[in-house]
């Protein structure tokens, strides 16, 4: 297959000259360097996976460390496929591409100042009219659901392009694997891109429609299965990373999103009845808890015993709140099992894993209590955990000051609340920054070690653990527009500490278009040094 990425974008294709002839030094040196990282389709088993993971041609080749990258589908077309893959392989030693087949959810198409330079002109993502769908849905797979992907708008850039077909041969030539990276759509991404989505939205305790689809609605479950079946039947994919950035009701209410608890639709009522969960008591309890939290957020008095005791009292008065929380997580695990079974039925050798988002991996203690890694391992060939060290600083600072200190930890100073978090999570206050430096400095590579080790110990060899190393994530509202380049030396150390903790590989995050060359090269150097020492 040839690289046809030099086409006119106004017709859904790249402009002439979209490719580049930039060289990365002497060709022989490039091939020697790339050879340290290339993983061909013949690798027999993912390192430390514990599950059979044969890839298509079965040839015997040397093993290499797993180095993946999050890659929005428009980026290879913007840069030219050959250039994009060469750049990733030469700088960071990437051998696995986690590519989005749709852009219904995610921090993509960033402003120019929030993007990294990759040797080709940067295109400002603001106001770009780019398709959200980069594959061709096949109607036969969607017979079991009323939901449909929105029809292609052929006036949009790259409309009609099939990213996995276009990547297949260029990736194979470079020994790269290609995974589907599927995020659960939510909010506007759900309503604007999926026909019929209004009918599968959650219902909160106040009877209002929520931002996400109900995990117990058969149309939504069948739609997810249809998407997975369609992709793996239509394209030669090596695996999938599914990400549902959806925490439990307690987390969404008090931890960061401040959302009203869901879902109380008829499908959830039916499941609750089958599993012996009191639907009405759970609804009343969560309604009372929501009212309590809202009063605290507005500066109201929590009562004579304080906010935290008042919160615990409601949980004791309504144990159905925890029963409802567990019902939510069981529904989520059922969905993951469905994805796993669907993929394996089509290609038993394909790897099925999940993305554990930053709140879930790092600060949401409700999620941590409900969903230990051991619970995820049986239906996951791998877990990609988000150990995003520097961006955790401003994220955690906001959760503490504007979140917990405004309600459940009313009366705690931010320093006291942070000290409590460090103690519970096992981070050292001698290593990690105090609150007044937290937002600016972020956390250290030791945080990456700690969270990776916790995951490795949790899965106990039942699945591989890939540490998500985030670089150059912009700060600010609206997915971040303020440039925030990472420290290359610190990035190098994060990779090293992830491997020290037992990671089977790394995935470079958050989005390729945000990543700076210096950070990518720091990752490549760390992997090279690690490989050379083994």
Cα distance between residue 383 and residue 354, in whole Å: 5
Instruction: Please spell the DSSP secondary structure of 140-168, one letter per residue.
Output: GGGTT-S-EEPPP-TTSBTTT--HHHHHH
Quick check: is 484 in a domain? yes
Q: What is the reported pLDDT for 522?
A: 98
Surface-to-core class of residue 299, CB atoms within 10 Å of its CB (0-12 exposed, 13-18 middle, 19+ buried): exposed
CATH code of 508's domain: 3.20.20.80
Asked if residue 524 and residue 411 are part of one domain, the reply reads: no
Average the pLDDT over each of 36-40, 163-167, 199-203 and give the range with the smallest value: 36-40
Asked if residue 408 and residue 347 are part of one domain, the reply reads: no
Interval 162-172 mean pLDDT: 98
Asked if residue 58 and residue 121 are part of one domain, the reply reads: yes
Token reading at 126: 């603001």
Cα distance between residue 457 and residue 300, in whole Å: 42
Strands 96-99 and 66-71: parallel
Interval 496-505 mean pLDDT: 98
Quick check: is 295 in a domain? no
Interval 11-24 mean pLDDT: 36
* % of the chain exceeding 70 in pLDDT: 87
Asked if residue 82 and residue 26 are part of one domain, the reply reads: yes
Residue 294 has pLDDT above 80, yes or no: yes
Q: What is the reported pLDDT for 318?
A: 98
Asked if residue 401 and residue 256 are part of one domain, the reply reads: no
Quick check: is 303 in a domain? no
Interval 368-383 mean pLDDT: 96
Quick check: is 266 in a domain? no
Domains of the chain: total: 2
Asked if residue 76 and residue 225 are part of one domain, the reply reads: yes
Asked if residue 77 and residue 166 are part of one domain, the reply reads: yes
Token reading at 47: 């390192």
More confidently predicted of 333 and 10? 333
Q: How confident is the model at residue 478 (pLDDT cuts 50, 70, 90)?
A: low
Q: What is the reported pLDDT for 399?
A: 92
Cα distance between residue 150 and residue 428, in whole Å: 49
Residue 416 has pLDDT above 50, yes or no: yes
Instruction: Please spell the DSSP secondary structure of 380-442, one letter per residue.
Output: -SEEEEE--TTTHHHHHHHIIIIIGGGTTTTT--HHHHHHHHHHHHT--TTTSPPHHHHHHH-
Q: How confident is the model at residue 100 (pLDDT cuts 50, 70, 90)?
A: very high
* % of the chain exceeding 90 in pLDDT: 80
Q: Tell me the whole-structure pTM to 2 decimals.
A: 0.88
Nearest to 106 by CA among 75, 152, 150, 72: 72
Asked if residue 108 and residue 15 are part of one domain, the reply reads: yes
Residue 482 has pLDDT above 50, yes or no: yes
Average pLDDT over the chain reads 88
More confidently predicted of 6 and 368? 368
Q: How confident is the model at residue 46 (pLDDT cuts 50, 70, 90)?
A: very low
Backbone dihedral angles phi then psi of residue 61, each to the nearest 5 degrees: -135, 160
Q: Where is the domain boundary, 424, 441, 458? A: 441
Asked if residue 27 and residue 15 are part of one domain, the reply reads: yes
Asked if residue 383 and residue 402 are part of one domain, the reply reads: no
Quick check: is 316 in a domain? no
pLDDT in tens, 222-250: 999 999 999 999 999 999 999 999 999 99
Residue 530 has pLDDT above 50, yes or no: yes
Interval 509-527 mean pLDDT: 97
Asked if residue 399 and residue 362 are part of one domain, the reply reads: no
Quick check: is 281 in a domain? no
Asked if residue 400 and residue 515 are part of one domain, the reply reads: no
Cα distance between residue 70 and residue 470, in whole Å: 10
Quick check: is 158 in a domain? yes
Residue 186 has pLDDT above 90, yes or no: no
Nearest to 392 by CA among 500, 313, 494, 475: 475
Cα distance between residue 477 and residue 482, in whole Å: 9
Q: What is the reported pLDDT for 421?
A: 96
Q: What is the reported pLDDT for 6?
A: 40
Q: What is the reported pLDDT for 534?
A: 73
Quick check: is 237 in a domain? yes
* Residue 457 region by backbone torsions, left for phi larger than 0, else alpha for psi between -120 and 50, else beta: alpha
Q: Where is the domain boundary, 383, 417, 441? A: 441
pLDDT in tens, 64-78: 789 999 999 999 999
Range of the domain at 235: 9-260+336-391+448-532
Q: What is the reported pLDDT for 34?
A: 38
Q: What is the reported pLDDT for 533?
A: 74
Q: Where is the domain boundary, 406, 441, 476? A: 441
Cα distance between residue 258 and residue 255, in whole Å: 7
CA distances from residue 503 to 69, 260, 311, 324 in whole angstroms, order as listed: 15, 36, 37, 34
Q: What is the reported pLDDT for 257?
A: 65
Q: What is the reported pLDDT for 78?
A: 97
Cα distance between residue 356 and residue 244, in whole Å: 8
Q: What is the reported pLDDT for 188?
A: 84
């Amino acid at each position: 297959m040839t690289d046809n990425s030099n086409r006119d974008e106004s017709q859904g294709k790249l402009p002439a000259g979209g490719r580049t002839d930039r060289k990365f030094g002497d060709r022989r040196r490039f091939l020697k360097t790339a050879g340290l990282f290339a993983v061909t389709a013949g690798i027999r088993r993912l390192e430390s996976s514990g599950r059979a993971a044969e890839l298509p041609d079965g040839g015997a080749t040397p093993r290499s460390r797993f180095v993946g990258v999050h890659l929005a589908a428009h980026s290879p077309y913007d840069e030219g496929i050959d250039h994009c893959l060469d750049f990733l392989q030469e700088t960071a030693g990437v051998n696995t591409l986690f590519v989005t087949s749709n852009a219904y959810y995610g921090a993509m198409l960033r402003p120019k100042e929030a993007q990294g330079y990759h040797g080709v002109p940067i295109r400002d993502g603001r106001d770009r009219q780019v398709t959200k769908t980069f594959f061709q849905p096949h109607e036969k797979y969607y017979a079991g659901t009323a939901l449909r992907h929105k029809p292609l708008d052929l006036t949009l850039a790259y409309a009609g392009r099939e990213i996995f077909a276009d990547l297949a041969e260029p990736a194979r030539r470079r020994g790269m694997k290609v995974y589907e990276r599927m995020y659960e759509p939510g909010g506007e991404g759900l309503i604007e891109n999926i026909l019929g989505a209004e009918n599968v939205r959650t219902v909160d305790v106040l009877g209002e429609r929520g931002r996400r689809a109900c995990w117990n609605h058969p149309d939504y479950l069948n739609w997810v299965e249809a998407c997975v079946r369609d992709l793996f039947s239509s394209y030669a994919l090596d695996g999938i990373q599914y990400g549902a950035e959806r925490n439990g009701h307690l987390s969404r209410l008090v931890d960061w999103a401040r959302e009203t608890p869901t879902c109380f639709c008829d499908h959830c009522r039916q499941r609750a009845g089958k599993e012996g969960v009191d639907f009405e008591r759970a609804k009343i309890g969560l309604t009372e808890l929501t009212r309590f939290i809202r009063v605290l957020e507005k500066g109201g008095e929590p009562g004579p015993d304080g906010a935290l005791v008042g919160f615990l009292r409601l949980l004791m008065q309504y144990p159905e709140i925890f029963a409802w929380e567990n019902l939510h997580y069981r529904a989520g695990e059922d969905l993951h099992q469905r994805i796993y079974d669907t993929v394996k039925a089509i290609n038993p050798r394909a790897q099925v894993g999940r993305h554990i988002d930053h709140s879930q991996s790092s600060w949401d203690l409700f999620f941590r209590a409900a969903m230990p890694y051991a619970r995820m391992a049986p239906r996951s060939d791998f877990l990609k955990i988000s150990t995003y060290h520097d961006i955790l600083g401003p994220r955690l600072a906001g959760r503490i000051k504007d979140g917990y200190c405004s309600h459940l930890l009313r009366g705690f100073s931010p320093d006291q609340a942070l000290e409590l978090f460090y103690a519970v999570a096992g981070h050292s206050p001698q290593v990690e920054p105090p609150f007044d430096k937290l937002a600016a400095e972020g956390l250290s590579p030791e945080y990456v070690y700690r969270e990776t080790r916790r995951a490795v110990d949790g899965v106990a060899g039942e699945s591989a653990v890939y540490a998500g190393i985030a670089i150059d994530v912009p700060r600010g509202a609206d997915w971040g527009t303020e440039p925030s380049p990472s420290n290359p030396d610190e990035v190098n150390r994060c990779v090293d500490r992830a491997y020290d903790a037992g990671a089977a590989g790394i995935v470079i995050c958050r989005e390729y278009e945000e990543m700076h060359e210096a950070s990518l090269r720091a990752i490549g150097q760390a992997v090279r040094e690690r490989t050379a020492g083994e």
